[in-house]
Chains A and B, each alone.
Chain A
Amino acid sequence: MASVALTNLDPASRAAARGWSDLTIRNMFIIPTLVFLIVFNIFPLIYSLGYSFTNFAANRSEPWQFVGLQNYRELLSDDHIWSNFVITAKYVIVSVAGQMIVGFGLALLLNRSFPMKGLITTLLLLPMMMSAAVVGLFWQLLYSPSWGPINYVFGLGDFAWLSNPDSALYAVAITDIWMWSPFVMLLSLAGLSAVPQHLYEAAAIDRASWWYTFTRITLPLVSPILLIALIFRTMEAFKTFDIAYTMTTQPTAELIAIRLYKQAFQQWDTGKSCALAYIVLIMVLAITNLYVKYLNKVKER
């Protein structure tokens, strides 16, 4: 790191004329960002960690008390919370797997030259440019058993996607796949176009099969960037709130973020909500760390 030394100021520059050193200028750029981060990120993070050990409730004027680990103990022994975590895990697996398959598949299809490639790629990117709440509301209409086009096209009669406790979560996951596959597609396309063409040419001369080329050349070279997509999508899916909240109120589709919202802003159980938020944070950190470890391994190859 130390080798990235700052270059000296040009003595003829205006900054030098005002008597500023390069250090001053560096500080001028960095300090505002640091202050912003500390005030709006780090400070609330530490403050809420403190709250998570109290019975503080934002809607009460009574003084709060220190309760130690009670909030964590109660949360981790609460069946409802565990079922929320199981629901969230199911959701993350289904929606992220779906996005990786659809997104990477689309990228493979797009990774060749054909007429209007630019236009088609742009159109495919549209879903992820929309607001999640709007997507949720539109898909609610698409799924409608009375007039929704989905049941009409697939001839499903009046199957109630969002009111059926068994299908609600998957209906939300399908929407999420529709919305975020383009993101995976975009990253994969970047990865695919970076694979040197001469490798494919060499494989073609050796008469390698399509499958052999795919598993030995394409996948290994694209996998680091695919893993980055996987990390982003897993983190995002874990904290999904908007789509699920607007689409259904099924308890079988109550993701952990929705439970957290209800606890924090409908019941005003602030202390306990902080504790739950920390549990979620630790889980996301742990999962991301596993991925990052694996990513580093892949990169070393």
Chain B
Amino acid sequence: MRKIVTSVLAGVGLALACGTSVHAQDKELTIFWAEWDPANYLQELVNDYTAETGVKVTVQTTPWPDFQTKAFTEFNAHGDAYDMVVGDSQWLGAGSTQGHYVDLTDFFNQHKLGDVMAPATIKYYAEYPGGSGKYWAIPLEGDAIGWSYRKDWFEDPKEKEAFKAKYGYDLAVPTTYVQLRDIAEFFHRPDQKRYGVAIYTDNSYDAMAMGVESAIFSYGGDLGDYATYKVDGITNSKEAAAGLDMYKELYKFTPPGWGKTFFVEDNQAITGGLSAMSMNFFAFFPPLVNKATNPYADVTGFFANPAGPDGKRFAALGGQGISVVSYSKNKDEAMKFLEWFIKDETQKKWAELGGYTCSQAVLKSEAFQNATPYNKAFYDTMFMVKDFWATPEYAEVLDQLNQNIYPFVVGGKGTAQEALDKTAADWKATFTKYNRYK
């Protein structure tokens, strides 16, 4: 008996010893991101890196609603499960001030990334605090709110005639929110199971906030002064209230039961032939031009977020930068990877695979802009983006916004002004709590 035990133990010991020695030769990097198509494209891209260097890179993903929770649980525990994370732009504040991210300022300056990447992507994905010249991430996936629409409905001569008779101008891709509203109303025919527009209403993370802020920004409003944390008179300005009112107006023309919707539902509105127009992040557009996933792929068009009444035109920024996690045991290896990632050839390949590169040179190239039906709209949008708060307490700020605007937009409770007044008051209290007013 004793002999058997000894030999088994020896066997286990030998296996362990061999296992660890093999393991030591293999270098591995883990990148954490949300579960969506771009993460698959990234995995394809990094396979090239493995082929070149022998370092195995794995892109680990989790569904969107868990993304923030899972990443921060790991950060808070100072865990080394992820070497790099492709984090939301709003995480920069918490990531940098709480020591979760490695400071990439030197890397940034050394490679002059300020000239390589599109300005908006540096401002929102990389720098924190705004204007400080401190960088915490390399822009990886550019993204913003855009729109898809049914070209065949828009181009139908009968519809065009009826539209002109009703509204006095030609039916075309909307350039203002008022036109967008009119078109939504025009195509909203519940008895035919056809609806005007699909918008974001999910309030469990930032979906609804992204939709609402796109309208608020275009109407000339702002969420606050991100440098001084001033919110009174900015968050609840007349312009902001008008933008929120417009969003609520659009909600009237959504398909029934449109109360918890994000990218999946908004794409279904097009693929299911439900609505004339649909809001979504550009990163979710690839399935819409694919015949296998969208029966209306041939007749689906795309446009950039329309302007407000004063011609101001903005769109909510999505997208992410890649940061090195400060608790990783492979930081040097991760920096080497980033050096490879910012190379022009890599960025070009990234765009070809379907990733939204932030490299100016690639974005401006004809090849990129004509590669898909939506790349031109994406290029236009990336120069008119604005983002949400990126302070460390953004999750609290986001929840307060959701609590105040959701009952107004979906529940029809109160007015836009009241919802924003309450938001401004809540935000002021939160910023006071965190000593933001010195």
Contacts and interface: CB of A to CB of B under 8 A. Distances in A.
Interface of A: 58-61, 80, 143-146, 158-165, 168, 248-252, 262, 265-269
Contact of B410 (A145, A165, A268): A165
Interface stretch (B69-77, B209-217, B222-230, B383-391): B69-77
8 contacts: A58-B76, A59-B76, A59-B392, A146-B193, A158-B190, A163-B260, A249-B259, A265-B69
B423 to A, nearest CB: 13
A60 B392 contact: yes
Given A146-B274, A249-B259, A269 B396 contact: yes
Given A251-B403, A252-B407, A252-B411, 11 more contacts: A59-B94, A143-B257, A146-B257, A158-B256, A163-B260, A165-B411, A165-B413, A248-B260, A262-B399, A266-B69, A266-B395
Contacts of A251: 203, 403, 406-407, 411
A162 B395 contact: no
Given A61-B98, A267-B399, A249 B202 contact: yes
A165 B256 contact: no
Contacts of A145: 255-257
A208 B306 CA distance: 77
Nearest to B78: A61
Interface string B96-112: 00110000000000000
Nearest to B95: A59
Contacts of A248: 259-260
B395 A249 contact: no
Report whether over half of chain B's contact residues are helix, strand or loop; otherwise say mixed.
loop
Contacts of B407: 165, 251-252
Contacts of A143: 257
A267 B257 contact: no
B362 to A, nearest CB: 35
B62 interface: no
A169 to B, nearest CB: 12
Interface residues on B, range: 35 or more
B75 A59 contact: yes
A80 B256 contact: no
Interface of B: 68-69, 72-73, 75-76, 94, 98-99, 190, 193, 201-205, 255-260, 272, 274, 392-393, 395-396, 399, 403, 406-407, 410-411, 413
Contacts of A60: 98, 392
Given A251-B411, A252-B411, A265-B73, A160 B257 contact: yes
Contacts of B76: 58-59, 268
The list of the 9 closest CB pairs from A to B, nearest first, reads A163-B259, A158-B256, A160-B257, A145-B256, A145-B257, A165-B411, A267-B396, A249-B260, A267-B395
Nearest to B254: A163
B257 A61 contact: no
Contacts of B257: 143-146, 158, 160-163
Contact of A146 (B68, B99, B256): B256
Report whether over half of chain A's contact residues are helix, strand or loop; otherwise say mixed.
loop
A265 B204 CA distance: 12
A161 B395 CA distance: 29
Looking at B203, B260, B413, which has the most chain A CB atoms within 10 Å of its CB?
A: B260
Contacts of A249: 202-204, 259-260, 406
A162 B259 CA distance: 7
A268 B398 CA distance: 13
Contacts of A159: 256
A44 B361 CA distance: 54
Contacts of A262: 399
B99 A59 contact: no
Nearest to B255: A146
A250 B410 contact: yes
B388 to A, nearest CB: 14
A80 B392 contact: no
Contact of A266 (B68, B75, B272): B68
A160 B406 CA distance: 16
A232 to B, nearest CB: 29
Contacts of B403: 80, 251
A153 to B, nearest CB: 16
Nearest to A245: B204
Nearest to A265: B69
Contacts of A267: 393, 395-396, 399
Contacts of B396: 267, 269
A24 to B, nearest CB: 25
A61 B134 CA distance: 20
Contacts of B94: 59
B258 A163 contact: yes
B399 A266 contact: yes
A59 B69 CA distance: 11
A168 B260 CA distance: 11
Contacts of B98: 59-61
Nearest to B394: A267
Given A60-B392, A249-B406, A160 B256 contact: yes
A53 B205 CA distance: 28
Contacts of B68: 266
Nearest to B433: A55
B88 to A, nearest CB: 13
Contacts of B201: 163
Nearest to B396: A267
Contacts of B75: 59
A249 B205 CA distance: 10
A252 B259 CA distance: 12
Contact of A162 (B255, B260, B399, B411): B260
B31 to A, nearest CB: 21
A160 B60 CA distance: 36
A125 B106 CA distance: 63
A265 to B, nearest CB: 5
A168 B256 CA distance: 14
A60 B392 CA distance: 9
A59 B72 contact: yes
A159 B204 CA distance: 23
Contacts of B274: 146
B323 to A, nearest CB: 15
